[in-house]
Structure 1
Amino acid sequence: MTEATAEVTRPRAEVTPPRLFRDEARTEAVQCLACGGPIALRGFGAIQRVVCPACGSLLRPEDSGALALIHRAARAHQPSVLPLHARGRLDGALWEIVGICWRTVPGWPWQEFLLYNPYRGYRYLAHSPSDGHWSLGQVIPGAPKVVPGKRHAITYRGRRYRHFSGADAHVTYAEGEFPWQVQVGDLAHVDDFAAPPYGISIEEVAGSDGVELTRTAMRHLDAAEVWRAFERPGKPPRQKGVGMLAPNRWREQARSLWLSCLVFLVAWYFAVQFVAGRATEREVFQATDLRFDSALSQEVTIGEPGSSTTVEISFTADPLDNSWAFAEVVLIPIDGEEAIGLGMEASSYSGFEDGEAWSEGDRQVDHVLGRVAGGRYLLQVTPERDTSALPGSDPLGLGSFAPFGVRSPETWALRVREDVFLTRYAALPVPIILGFPLLAWLLGRRRERKRWANSDYPT
């Protein structure tokens, strides 16, 4: 259970649960001493300040139970997104809004709703009118530990929170009852730390007795959840942008996506091995030590009539040193009209450059044809080669000397196999499988950039 929701389990119905306050928590109806408006008190034993909802006058509970007027005001009532004394069920308990406080930092106002339950105490429901996001908070005991680093961070109960923003917050409006002395104009320095969807807010208030620190653990609430909890009509205010504590579903799903990706890759690997193991790779034709001065024409049978198969053609030239060889291969169906043709070039080059040896090419080149119809074919091959190093060849005007390190191919070979496994098809799904977690990572990173653009550390 997280900090924001850690609570004592409600006792069984037959046992009377203990109260949290010395005085019996009760509901009393009194009148404002300034305007005569009705005031309903809920947690009388704990409150220190009452703000008249009608006129904004400040009152203080006396030991006798009466209210004493502290400051007479005449401000108009301001409607909030949730009304005073509205009741809602959150975290399995029924809460009542007993106080409403509007606060603001430069360019960012928010509304705080003080929730009260006689068995669970107080909670703080915060709403930002600017972006429509909600959070639920609870005062926590103890102090989080500070993490050294460039960006201020803290840890609390094993979770690390990064500093999001710090500013002076002013109270601009208040109504209802509060367990602290509140009035319009109150100032507190607020530092917010985020580990979405959780956060910690540390308020620092300077007074005559020194500095008072209040630490509140928060968690993000969905607007629809709040609206249902308080049974409000219509739809909640639309959420805009990425709030400080708004969940990042892309990052939350990252681990499961990578795990699923690993499972798919393993399953695909075994599937590929199974399919590759069933490939017969039957040799249809093979000829070696062929001369370049003559072409090849041979009838071959590929596959079974009425079916299709994959065909691999391999062309090899030897020797091949800083030279090339080429073969034009044509498969002409004896019982058909559409021929299959391809050019195959084998080349091998090497040398030294800047004191380092290099090489490229290969004496053998392979080409795989997919979905070749079964039947009889006439295989025709016309070979060509690099003749620059042959005896009697003088492309550079060097007499009978061939270029140093150059050998023209003397023989060539050809092999044809059917029912071979297409490796390219085995590799094709890999980037698709990896694409899902990578896309989630990119979208999660984009969402975080939007979130932190509103912080003291825009990226």
Structure 2
Amino acid sequence: MDHICPVCQTNNNNLAIDFTVKEFICSHCDNLIEVGKITPKKLVKKPLENVVLEVGRKGIIDDTEYWVINIVIKKYGSDVYWREYALKDKAGNDAFLSESDGNWVFLQQLEFAFKESKFYAEHEGRKYRWYETTPCSTYAATGFFEEKANFALVSYKEYVNGTEMISREQYGNSPQYFKGHYISRSAIRKAFGVKDLPSSLGIGIVQPFPYNLRQCTNIMAIVALLICLLQLYVVTSRTNQTVFEQTIKFTDVTDKELISNSFSLSGGSAPLKVNAFADVDNSWANVGISLVNEKTNEVIYASKDIEQYSGFEGGESWSEGSQNEDFNICGVAPGTYHFQISAEKEGGVVDPFKSGYRPPNSDFSVIQNESGSFFLQNDKDKTINTYVGKEELEREILRRTGILNNQKEIKKMDSVLINMVPDYGYPEKYEEHTTVSIKATWLPVSFWNFGIVLVCLIVFTVLSYIARRIFETSKWKNSSNSPYPTN
């Protein structure tokens, strides 16, 4: 429908729907024109800043097609502005979009007044908390008006419940009532096909928390229950399994590795826990373990130091370290494996029999300690026999070597045994810290991950409630009736 401005003769025909227009503001000269009159009523400031929808633009909200028929910028105080876009559908029904600081509300006029009390209003059985009463004036406007455009001071009283609001708009003695709900920037962008929208600042009066906290809490509770049931199944269907346990002499792994028996792991990937114990005292030991997958020959290597030190200083005793150390080989897949184990201790391993007396053609060695006792070690099985007297030892050597008729060797043997340098402290000093105990346990049943997940769920839920409290407090910070304490 054509609306020709009597001032500049511009044809204002940018409406695609037909309705009764009582006044319009010329899009060219910005004069307020009453239809049928040739004299403009007043010059009106054109709305420009952050206006993203133009008069005549079409959009679809809640499955209804609307057209923008006018735009009004409202002003509160000296520097607070917000924009109201009046909409109309083909059936003549009105709606409104209110935008402030990039936050949008979609409103429709109510046919009846809602019930108001001092701090609350009630509509359709739902209570709305009074947010604020705001006096404002029209700062700028453009478009078409079914009634006379009102530039007088108007008062808005707004009530909020979550993402919905109701409001009373009061011009003098003529109140109008509205109900609105939050509408997202993405919904506005999609509805009207616009790309650039005002940046969102702060929290809108009916802006929702980023996600539904009650639903999220229910989901978390269900997930926690499922995790508990899964853990219960794991506990009842699987057991932790000791796959290797042995006490190893350091002498047995000097310059070589101990190869364990094969063992099989079945089920899902799980950590292999290794415990190492050595009776160290103001010294250290080291254990190296290679886990070998017999099918793929893949090797996982781990090493651990075992050390313990103690002393007395400044009138106080101190200690550090431990004789027990644990470590995990993580994520071990099912399969058949064996260990390759090496170990060493501080000072290395000394074998006194290597420098002992060895008769010709023999498979043993002999040493003596400071008390006069003799010790014979078999090379093959490392067994050690003790002899208190030299004569008894000589008889044993003659029996083992067959030199009974060789007087020269007998004299030499007798001389060696008489003049043998004692190995002081044997066997006591060589029996200290001689072994390391290793135990490896397959851990398909783990409460660690189970506990971590549950703690994370609880922490996330608690933080969500705290975040929502902060969010709601910020939303109500400009209200005179905030339900949250200001201090």
1:271 correspondence with 2:192: no
1:32 correspondence with 2:1: no
Counterparts of residues 45-444 of structure 1 (less than 5 Å): 45=20, 47-53=21-27, 54-60=29-35, 67-68=36-37, 72-75=41-44, 77-79=46-48, 80-106=51-77, 107-128=79-100, 131-146=101-116, 152-184=119-151, 186-206=152-172, 211-232=173-194, 234-249=195-210, 252-277=211-236, 278-279=238-239, 371=328, 423-424=447-448, 426-444=450-468
Which amino acid in 2 is paired with 1:433?
Answer: L
SS at structure 2 position matched to 1:30: coil
How far has the Cα of 1:109 moved from its partner? 1.0
How far has the Cα of 1:419 moved from its partner? 7.0
**Aligned residue for 1:316?**
none
Write the distance in 2 (CA, Å) between the matches of 1:375 and 1:281: 19
How far has the Cα of 1:332 moved from its partner? 11
Residue 339 to residue 55, structure 1, CA distance change in 2 (3 Å): closer
Larger Rg: 2
Write the distance in 2 (CA, Å) between the matches of 1:304 and 1:370: 21
How far has the Cα of 1:227 moved from its partner? 3.6
SS at structure 2 position matched to 1:142: coil
Superposed CA RMSD? 5.1
Residue 312 to residue 181, structure 1, CA distance change in 2 (3 Å): same
Write the distance in 2 (CA, Å) between the matches of 1:32 and 1:143: 37
**Aligned residue for 1:15?**
none
Aligned length: 342
Write the distance in 1 (CA, Å) between the matches of 2:289 and 2:86: 88
Q: Is the 8 A contact 1:98 1:176 kept in 2?
A: yes
How far has the Cα of 1:71 moved from its partner? 5.4
Write the distance in 1 (CA, Å) between the matches of 2:68 and 2:288: 89
Q: Is the 8 A contact 1:257 1:436 kept in 2?
A: no
Residue 85 to residue 371, structure 1, CA distance change in 2 (3 Å): closer
How far has the Cα of 1:139 moved from its partner? 0.2
Q: Report the TM-score when normalising by structure 2.
A: 0.55
Write the distance in 2 (CA, Å) between the matches of 1:229 and 1:179: 24
- 1:194-246 per-residue CA deviation (whole Å, 9 max, x = no partner) reads 3343222211221xxxx2221111222333433443344x5222222222222
How far has the Cα of 1:76 moved from its partner? 5.7
Q: Report the TM-score when normalising by structure 1.
A: 0.58
Write the distance in 1 (CA, Å) between the matches of 2:111 and 2:150: 25
Question: Quick check: 440-449 or 99-108, which moved more?
Answer: 440-449
Write the distance in 1 (CA, Å) between the matches of 2:138 and 2:304: 85
- 1:398-444 per-residue CA deviation (whole Å, 9 max, x = no partner) reads xxxxxxxxxxxxxxxxxx99778655554232211223323333333
Residue 454 to residue 69, structure 1, CA distance change in 2 (3 Å): farther
Which amino acid in 2 is paired with 1:226?
Answer: I
1:451 correspondence with 2:424: no
How far has the Cα of 1:122 moved from its partner? 1.2
How far has the Cα of 1:190 moved from its partner? 0.3
Which amino acid in 2 is paired with 1:276?
Answer: V
Residue 281 to residue 342, structure 1, CA distance change in 2 (3 Å): farther
Which amino acid in 1 is paired with 2:136?
Answer: A
SS at structure 2 position matched to 1:181: coil
SS at structure 2 position matched to 1:272: helix
Write the distance in 2 (CA, Å) between the matches of 1:197 and 1:269: 35
Write the distance in 2 (CA, Å) between the matches of 1:436 and 1:55: 55
Return 5+ residue gaps in structure 1 as ranges. Answer: 1-26, 61-66, 286-302, 314-329, 344-366, 377-415
How far has the Cα of 1:192 moved from its partner? 1.9
Q: Is the 8 A contact 2:122 2:128 kept in 1?
A: yes
Which amino acid in 2 is paired with 1:455?
Answer: S
Which amino acid in 2 is paired with 1:113?
Answer: Y
How far has the Cα of 1:187 moved from its partner? 1.4
Q: Is the 8 A contact 1:34 1:57 kept in 2?
A: no
Write the distance in 1 (CA, Å) between the matches of 2:122 and 2:166: 10
Q: Is the 8 A contact 1:34 1:72 kept in 2?
A: no
How far has the Cα of 1:170 moved from its partner? 0.7
- 1:6-61 per-residue CA deviation (whole Å, 9 max, x = no partner) reads xxxxxxxxxxxxxxxxxxxxx2x13234444334475544x44434443323415x
Write the distance in 2 (CA, Å) between the matches of 1:371 and 1:55: 79
Write the distance in 2 (CA, Å) between the matches of 1:339 and 1:134: 62
Write the distance in 1 (CA, Å) between the matches of 2:24 and 2:273: 85
- 1:252-284 per-residue CA deviation (whole Å, 9 max, x = no partner) reads 3322322222222222212222232232688x9
Residue 143 to residue 306, structure 1, CA distance change in 2 (3 Å): same
Which amino acid in 2 is paired with 1:88?
Answer: G
Q: Is the 8 A contact 1:56 1:174 kept in 2?
A: no
Of all paired residues, the percent bearing the same amino acid is: 16
* Structure (1/2) with the larger strand percentage: 1
Which amino acid in 1 is paired with 2:86?
Answer: L
**Aligned residue for 1:327?**
none
SS at structure 1 position matched to 2:102: coil
